[in-house]
Amino acid sequence: MRAQSYISTLASLLLPRLFFLPILQIAIGWPVDPTRGFTNLPLVNLTDYHIQKPYDLPVGDRYSFKNGVHRLWVYSTDNPLSKGSPTKPRSEIIINGYNYSSGVWQFEGHGYVPCGTSGVCVMQVFGASPHNTTLMLRVYNGSLYYYNESLLVPNIYDRWFKLNVIHDVNASRLNVYVDGDLKLEAPGRGGTFHYFKCGVYAQDNESFYMESRWKGIKVLKKCDI
């Protein structure tokens, strides 16, 4: 009850200013800026993120950073990230400087998946229970999927797309925006500890070669009211 009346008071105060524009934008189909109301956090290379790649290869064999673009690739015959791991091969940016267990967090990045890459996870929210992941965005046959379940965006190959993933931990809810359009609302999957990753992580029916590119990666946190 308290939360409800608080929310309705807040809504009546803010509705005219904050909520009208987004509602109008959704109504007439303008893309929204999902980062509104969030603070951008600094991302320091090797402190806040690093690369997970086949354990027997140097980073440079599966990752490059040129002109602001992170390029990550892997082959289906590669080794996992550590010796003896049952997981399939990956080359992923792990953002380990911003582990979180409450609050509202957001990943933003511009992604690119070259034609031919399939059966692969390109972005994940790690940490769930009993599963390992709260969210996986995968590419199968040229389309972007939520796990292997729902198709989010067809024809994703060979173009840059802007991805925003918002994770409201307390509400156990995730929103996924592609190019500013809300494509998915998904429930959380438990767990007490999360972080973001992007790159390529082989799943099922994977292609021999898998690659994704990322630029403008940001981690944002909702401002405290």
Comparing CB distances to ligand NAG, the nearer of 39 and 170 is: 170
Q: What is the residue whose two structure tokens read 């993120």?
A: 49
Residue pair 85/56 in contact (Cβ under 8 Å)? The answer is no
Decide: is 140 part of the binding site for ligand NAG (CB under 6 A): yes
Decide: is 225 part of the binding site for ligand NAG (CB under 6 A): no
What count of other Cβ atoms lies within 10 Å of the Cβ of residue 163?
23
Residue from 141, 154, 180, 185 binding ligand NAG (CB under 6 A): 141
Residue pair 200/72 in contact (Cβ under 8 Å)? The answer is yes
Comparing CB distances to ligand NAG, the nearer of 40 and 148 is: 148
Among the residue ranges 5-13, 19-27, 82-90, 183-191, the one whose residues contact ligand NAG (CB under 6 A): 82-90
- Determine the length of the chain: 225
Residue from 45, 67, 77, 155 binding ligand NAG (CB under 6 A): 45
Burial class (CB in 10 A: 0-12, 13-18, 19+), 5: exposed
Comparing CB distances to ligand NAG, the nearer of 26 and 148 is: 148
Q: What is the residue whose two structure tokens read 């690739």?
A: 73
Decide: is 99 part of the binding site for ligand NAG (CB under 6 A): yes
Decide: is 150 part of the binding site for ligand NAG (CB under 6 A): no
